[in-house]
Amino acid sequence: MFKVNENYLFLKESYLFSTIAEKVEKYKTTNPGADLIRLGIGDVTLPLPPSVIKAIHTSADEMGSRETFRGYGPEQGYSFLRDKIVEIDYLQKGIVIANDEVFISDGSKSDTGNIGDILGEENVVAITDPVYPVYLDTTIMRIGKSNKILLLECEEDNGFLPQLPKEHVDVVYLCYPNNPTGTVMTKSELKRWVDWALENNSLILFDSAYEAYIQDENVPKSIYEIENAERCAIEFRSFSKNAGFTGLRCSYTVVPMSLKTKLANGTEININKLWNRRQSTKFNGTPYIVQRAAEAIYTTEGQREVKEMVAYYMNNANIIRQGLINKGWRVFGGENSPYVWMKCPNGLDSWEFFDHLLNKCHIVGTPGVGFGSKGQGYFRLTAFNSLEKTVEAVERIISVQ
């Protein structure tokens, strides 16, 4: 009788967003006329920018001609894209990253999940609560529901920022701007974590999928803005939220050459080399046409288009934020992030407020408790719907008692 990985049994049966989808389906069946507005899932709604579409057409034609056809590409991604990332996302901001420290992939969900492949099962892993469920679920898949998983509580009275762990921790997942709370770490706050990691020889897995939404100059877009972070951190970046690639699938992960640790026998080992071996063996690269599409974001035209998309969503975030504040509710995030996080009013818990918004306002949001027990009593609204729907949603919220 072949055996399965029984760690999977510790996972919750269903993914948060499936539960929401079921509730919404049920509501629609019993209320067929309801005009629902979705401010729930973090999926974009604006179409892909023109320069991206143009790049897909051009590269598709290349793939249709014998002379320019490309088969297997480098598993790590094409140099034309890695070079642009190095130049525009890092060098122009004063951060030195080499081409071979950048790994192109099909999504940050894959990379933040797969990174565990190269880590030892004996590591103590710290994860914030509330959190993007993928970090926790993939860690449980790998090491089970053991006492090696430590939850870092993020509460209103600490501004939803985790405290440095008092216990020994080997690996910590940090996501800033944060999903779901929309909160950010300033440079000095992130520096405390880098210093802690360097002192404890710990690894920071830094998810900066939402960096494009940062408005405040004091908030780092990359962890490598902090001195010596290249010796303790892997950074995950995505084209999903800045350029609308949620359905096109492209992201990248930076694994600096300076990031090292020691084997059980004391020998030093290079993490970049391990990730390279993982990717070359278990992945065959991101589609050529998708990498050309991502490259187009780095043209002058592409940069302008991406800035416009982000500005559009940030305007929505501001409308939601101001509307909820005017309503007298306690609101967080939404200033450097497409996510607005709020305290549920009148002592409602997360799912009660979900039902309230669905029934009274026909608005779908995300219950905070879905991201962890410390999210109980909170709620997440996203800025990714259209301006018109966002304005309408806020009007509905304001008008309902």
Residue 238 assigned to a binding site: yes
CB 151 → a copy of itself: shortest distance, Å? 18
Pull the structure tokens for residue 114. Answer: 């797969």
> With respect to a copy of itself, which residue has the nearer C-beta, 109 or 380?
109
The verdict on whether residue 27 carries a ligand-binding annotation is no
The H or E element spanning position 206 is strand 203-207
36 is a site residue for a copy of itself (CB under 8 A): no
346 lies in the binding site for a copy of itself (CB under 8 A): no
Between 222 and 286, CB nearer to a copy of itself: 286
Nearer of residues 197 and 357 to a copy of itself, judged by Cβ: 197
Q: Which member of 26, 57, 93, 145 binds a copy of itself (CB under 8 A)? A: 57
Q: Which stretch binds a copy of itself (CB under 8 A): 23-31, 257-265, 310-318, 335-343?
A: 257-265
In whole angstroms, what is the distance from residue 365 CA to residue 313 CA?
A: 16
Residue 89 burial by Cβ neighbours in a 10 Å radius (0-12, 13-18, 19+) = buried
Is 312 among the annotated ligand-binding positions?
Answer: no
Choosing from 79, 146, 163, 284, the residue that interacts with a copy of itself (CB under 8 A) is 284
Element holding 235 (H helix, E strand): strand 233-238
Cα–Cα dist 288/285, whole Å: 8
Is 239 marked as a binding-site residue?
Answer: yes
* Residue 263 binding a copy of itself, by CB under 8 A: yes
Per CB under 8 A, 301 contacts a copy of itself: no
The minimum distance between CB 57 and a copy of itself, in angstroms, equals 6
Q: Of 178-186, 278-286, 317-325, 326-334, which part binds a copy of itself (CB under 8 A)?
A: 278-286
- The residues near 328 (Cβ < 8 Å, ≥ 6 apart) are 345
Q: 271 near 61, Cβ under 8 Å?
A: no
Is 201 assigned to a binding site?
A: no
Is 38 annotated in some ligand binding site? no
Helix/strand/coil for 394: helix
Extract the tokens encoding 66.
């014998």
- Decide if residue 310 touches a copy of itself (CB under 8 A): no
Please state the closest distance from residue 171 (CB atom) to a copy of itself, in A: 6
Residue 132 annotated as binding site? yes
Residue type, 193: W
- C-alpha closest to that of 201 among 261, 255, 258: 261
Closer of 64 and 347 to a copy of itself (Cβ): 64
Of the two residues 235 and 335, which places its CB atom closer to a copy of itself in the complex? 235
Q: Which is nearer to a copy of itself, 118 or 348 (CB)?
A: 118
**Residue 25 within binding range of a copy of itself, rule CB under 8 A:** no
| 151: contact with a copy of itself by CB under 8 A | no
Task: Assess 385 for contact with a copy of itself (CB under 8 A).
Answer: no
Instruction: State the helix-helix crossing angle for 288-296 and 50-63, rounded to 10 degrees.
Output: 150
**Annotated binding residue 42:** yes
Asked whether position 199 contacts a copy of itself by CB under 8 A, the answer is no
E strands along 135-199, which residues? 149-153, 171-175
Q: Which stretch binds a copy of itself (CB under 8 A): 83-91, 153-161, 245-253, 344-352?
A: 245-253
196 near a copy of itself, judged by CB under 8 A: no
45 binds a copy of itself (CB under 8 A): yes
Question: In this chain, which of 290, 320, 340, 393 binds a copy of itself, going by CB under 8 A?
Answer: 290
Residue type, 133: P
C-alpha to C-alpha distances, 88 to 92, 96, 97, 171, 380, nearest whole angstrom: 5, 11, 11, 29, 32
Instruction: Identify each DSSP E strand in 280-355 by its residue range.
Output: 331-333, 339-343
Q: What is the DSSP letter of 41?
A: S
Q: Which strand (E) or helix (H) includes residue 16?
A: helix 16-30
| Residue 47 within binding range of a copy of itself, rule CB under 8 A | yes
Residue type, 383: A
Q: Is 64 in the site for a copy of itself (CB under 8 A)?
A: yes
In whole angstroms, the minimum distance from the beta carbon of 360 to a copy of itself comes to: 27
Lookup: tokens for 218: 């004091």
- CA atoms 384, 388, 390, 391: torsion sign: positive
Q: Is 72 annotated as a binding residue?
A: yes
Q: Judged by CB under 8 A, does residue 80 bind a copy of itself?
A: no
Among 120, 163, 359, 400, binds a copy of itself (CB under 8 A): 120
Q: Are 368 and 352 in contact (CB under 8 A)?
A: no
Residue pair 48/241 in contact by the 8 Å Cβ criterion: no
